[in-house]
Chains A and B, each alone.
Chain A
Amino acid sequence: MYKIIKKRELTTNIYLMEVEAKRVAKSCEPGQFVIVRMDSEGERIPLTICDYDREKGTITIVFQTVGAGTKLMADLQEGDSFHDFVGPLGCPSEFVKEDLEELKKKKILFVAGGVGTAPVYPQVKWLNAHGIAADVIVGAKTKDLLILEKEMEAVAGNLYVTTDDGSYGRSGMVTQTIKDLIADGNQYDVCVAIGPMIMMKFVCLLTKELNMPTIVSLNPIMVDGTGMCGACRVTVGDKVKFACVDGPEFDGHAVNFDEAMRRQQMYKTAEGRAVLKIEEGDTHHGGCGNCND
């Protein structure tokens, strides 16, 4: 069992949990992810790693309640445990293995969207710990959905916060901030964009124009996370890759986002039904179209 030693509601429907998982904490690197199961009947839910503490043997995860599984997970409290917690899965971010002196010469721009801010954080933190100050754009729909601002501020070079509705920080999409930064004369050797698929797609369209190499981190549907099921297959250039073992990070300019977004819809109906069932509880009356009673 994997004990939850800290739980925080970062904002409405976004939770942070620090979980005891010694083997994962010992070996994980920025860019990797875990799969968790709440109980012996639970779904396998892939989650990005937001932070890790090798000495304490803990992993911090951040998740948004989107499906039935994450909704139930949000009810777990400090002292409760996850039934299963496996990782680290996927490949670490490439820069982890790069020559440090070479890396220090690079100017890196991170673009984080929504809950995607969580997986960006350990990358920026790692760079900061190695003496590299990366610029970070954090985008959120609105002020209330912004997470980890203080934490990010502490490790980023320059932090630019933008909200779609202008309720906090700059106003507009993250792509607008990228354009502004470039217009102001900033130059970047590489961009790392992590967030909703649609955001990554538009960031990539822009950075392609700007000739800025861009890495994205994909979170497709998967079951085992070790290369076994192939549910997470994604077309990158002319090759089919498994996001769980070949990724989750890929060259954003080569990813077929339209296909990836389509594949994310695969179980939408089933998920919707499951969520309805939880929300309606005993009052569930068959509105899901799935049951007769």
Chain B
Amino acid sequence: MDVLKKVPVREQDAKERATNFDEVCLGYNMEEAMAEASRCINCKNAQCVKGCPVAIDIPGFVEKVKEGNIEAAYQIISESSALPAVCGRVCPQETQCEGKCIRGIKGEPVSIGKLERFVADWARENGIKPVCAAEKKNKKVAVIGSGPAGLTCAGDLAKMGYDVTIFEALHEAGGVLVYGIPEFRLPKEAVVAKEIENVKALGVKIETNVVVGKAVTIDELMDEEGFSAVFIGSGAGLPKFMGIPGENSNGVFSANEYLTRSNLMKAFNEESNTPIMRGKKVAVVGGGNVAMDAARTALRLGAEVHIVYRRSEEELPARVEEVHHAKEEGIIFDLLTNPTEIIADESGWVTGMKCIKMELGEPDESGRRRPVEVKDSEFVMELDTVIMSLGTSPNPLISSTTEGLEVNKWKCIVADEKDGKTTKEGVYAGGDAVTGAATVILAMGAGKAAAKGIDEYLSK
């Protein structure tokens, strides 16, 4: 074996997977995992840990994998992460742990993400559970939202002995893990539901169908229902639209709607009671991970799919792996292209999208080169479906119903990065609700920091 290279991970063939919703990446087996783990040189001053938002003891667990003691590896990961099977699948390791790996200086870094996934999957298949709190503290904490931030915060607090209840607005727990990320990247029953079961096994209660800010306010939770502290992890759920003419035509969807129908409501399955538009030719506007998810979902539902993005490939905000997978499956990338109008027939159904070609100019405040329109380059793409994937912003439902909770001009809750403390006493926040749309693991890091912050507050 070439020690400079990762042990390759098995994947479903691109042609085959383009027609099904089964998981793309098949993961390592024991032999492959142990071989990959042996590439770790167990650095004294491990850089990978510094790259991990939840600071997993990476050399520690990899060492155990090397020995073949997967249960011990799992317990090491569980000390820091409540959702290892999820993180092993959706974390952008290339910019985090693996991006800092010393092995990566010459050759490829250790495949930390795939090892984490292997350990978590093995533990699940072998019925290994995380260890519960030894001593109960007699204090109640409410967690709003059951996405990555909320689950992590709740799990950590439960391990410390707090009595934790999660309030979820939808009918199912998991937040973006169930409504946003598709089955073929993150299996719902086999992986997400099981990780949530593990959080519940720590003693966390989950009450679904509660829209905090409508059914009950944060003040009521604290004053009437006896919660001593609250963590807000309500995410960034509001979709953005472009504001171009024709955007309300039939056949234009937010990526949120399209993905929620497919993932949460299982509309990809023909037996589902929830309908979804099965277009013939679909444009997904945007270049992030969500755009890739929407595009690959539409492809699997039988469409020819185009990613329409106004900058060039280099600026695509999506993970390299996602772009690579999308291309393999046959998604067409129309880069340096910006929609200006949606065209519909007389009954209001989309028939096309007017676009203009772009070129890259001087760098803007984000440091990326600003796309500028190429004169007289307008053209029409014929389509029947357009999916807008332009990012999301936090839902003001909670901030607008909670007095004393400060938000910034983007409606993001103002919270201390260190401990999640907000401007309201006893109320903490983290994840996309604070940062705007980001990644699963950053939200988990924030949930973790807030759990510590809440513990300090309640221990005073």
Chain B proximity mask over A59-70: 1 for CB below 8 Å, otherwise 0: 000000000110
Report B408-431 residues with CB < 8 Å from chain A CB.
none
A270 contacts partner chain B, Cβ-Cβ < 8 Å? yes
Report A270-289 residues with CB < 8 Å from chain B CB.
270-271, 274
Report A13-31 residues with CB < 8 Å from chain B CB.
23-24, 26-27
A87–B257 CB distance below 8 A = no
Q: Which residues from chain B contact A224 at a C-beta distance below 8 Å?
A: 169-170, 179, 260
B274 contacts partner chain A, Cβ-Cβ < 8 Å? yes
Interface 9-residue window, one of A37-45, A100-108, A126-134, A181-189? A37-45
B273 contacts partner chain A, Cβ-Cβ < 8 Å? yes
A201 contacts partner chain B, Cβ-Cβ < 8 Å? no
A240 contacts partner chain B, Cβ-Cβ < 8 Å? yes
When C-beta atoms are compared, the residue in chain A nearest to B243 turns out to be A240
B260–A223 CB distance below 8 A = yes
A231 contacts partner chain B, Cβ-Cβ < 8 Å? yes
Interface 9-residue window, one of A151-159, A165-173, A210-218, A258-266? A258-266
Complex: how many Å from CA A281 to CA B13? Answer: 38
B107 contacts partner chain A, Cβ-Cβ < 8 Å? no
Interface 9-residue window, one of B36-44, B46-54, B152-160, B205-213? B205-213
A226-B397 contact given A42-B273, A262-B348, A271-B275, CB 8 Å threshold: yes
Complex: how many Å from CA A192 to CA B406? Answer: 35
Chain B proximity mask over A81-93: 1 for CB below 8 Å, otherwise 0: 0011111110000
Q: Which residues from chain B contact A267 at a C-beta distance below 8 Å?
A: 275
B1 contacts partner chain A, Cβ-Cβ < 8 Å? no
A44–B265 CB distance below 8 A = yes
A228–B260 CB distance below 8 A = yes
A230–B169 CB distance below 8 A = no
Complex: how many Å from CA A27 to CA B221? Answer: 13
B248–A231 CB distance below 8 A = no
Q: Which residues from chain A contact B348 at a C-beta distance below 8 Å?
A: 259, 262-263
B395 contacts partner chain A, Cβ-Cβ < 8 Å? yes
Complex: how many Å from CA A27 to CA B243? Answer: 35
Complex: how many Å from CA A83 to CA B170? Answer: 12
When C-beta atoms are compared, the residue in chain B nearest to A223 turns out to be B260
Chain A proximity mask over B201-230: 1 for CB below 8 Å, otherwise 0: 000000011110011100000000000000
Number of A positions contacting B (CB below 8 A): 40
Report B234-258 residues with CB < 8 Å from chain A CB.
237-239, 241, 243, 247-248, 250, 253-254, 256-257
When C-beta atoms are compared, the residue in chain B nearest to A25 turns out to be B215
Complex: how many Å from CA A88 to CA B113? Answer: 41
B260–A229 CB distance below 8 A = yes
A229-B239 contact given A84-B171, A88-B215, A263-B248, CB 8 Å threshold: yes
A253 contacts partner chain B, Cβ-Cβ < 8 Å? no
B238–A43 CB distance below 8 A = no
Report A226-263 residues with CB < 8 Å from chain B CB.
226-231, 233-235, 240, 245, 259, 262-263
Report B263-315 residues with CB < 8 Å from chain A CB.
265-266, 272-275, 277
A41–B273 CB distance below 8 A = yes
B248–A228 CB distance below 8 A = no
Q: Which residues from chain A contact B254 at a C-beta distance below 8 Å?
A: 229-231
Complex: how many Å from CA A259 to CA B253? Answer: 15
Contact residue among B209, B274, B275 (Cβ-Cβ distance under 8 Å from A84): B209
A265–B250 CB distance below 8 A = yes
Complex: how many Å from CA A26 to CA B274? Answer: 30
A69-B171 contact given A223-B261, A226-B237, A229-B239, CB 8 Å threshold: no
When C-beta atoms are compared, the residue in chain A nearest to B273 turns out to be A43
Q: Which residues from chain B contact A226 at a C-beta distance below 8 Å?
A: 169, 211, 237, 395, 397
B45 contacts partner chain A, Cβ-Cβ < 8 Å? no
Q: Which residues from chain B contact A84 at a C-beta distance below 8 Å?
A: 171, 208-209
Q: Which residues from chain B contact A89 at a C-beta distance below 8 Å?
A: 211, 214
| Residue from the set B210, B257, B260 with the largest chain A CB neighbour count within 10 Å | B257
B138 contacts partner chain A, Cβ-Cβ < 8 Å? no
Q: Which residues from chain A contact B266 at a C-beta distance below 8 Å?
A: 41
B273–A86 CB distance below 8 A = no
A23–B216 CB distance below 8 A = yes
When C-beta atoms are compared, the residue in chain A nearest to B170 turns out to be A224
Complex: how many Å from CA A227 to CA B260? Answer: 12
Complex: how many Å from CA A84 to CA B272? Answer: 17
B256–A230 CB distance below 8 A = yes
B459 contacts partner chain A, Cβ-Cβ < 8 Å? no
* Chain B positions near chain A (C-beta within 8 angstroms): 169-171, 179, 208-211, 214-216, 237-239, 241, 243, 247-248, 250, 253-254, 256-257, 260-261, 265-266, 272-275, 277, 347-348, 395, 397
Q: Which 4 A-B pairs have the closest CB atoms?
A: A270-B275, A229-B257, A262-B348, A86-B209
Given contacts A44-B171, A226-B211, 8 further A-B contacts (CB under 8 A): A27-B214, A68-B273, A69-B273, A86-B209, A229-B260, A230-B257, A240-B241, A263-B348
Q: List 20 A-B contacts (CB under 8 A).
A: A23-B216, A26-B215, A27-B214, A41-B266, A42-B273, A44-B265, A68-B273, A86-B170, A87-B215, A89-B211, A89-B214, A224-B260, A226-B169, A226-B211, A226-B237, A229-B256, A230-B257, A240-B241, A266-B277, A267-B275
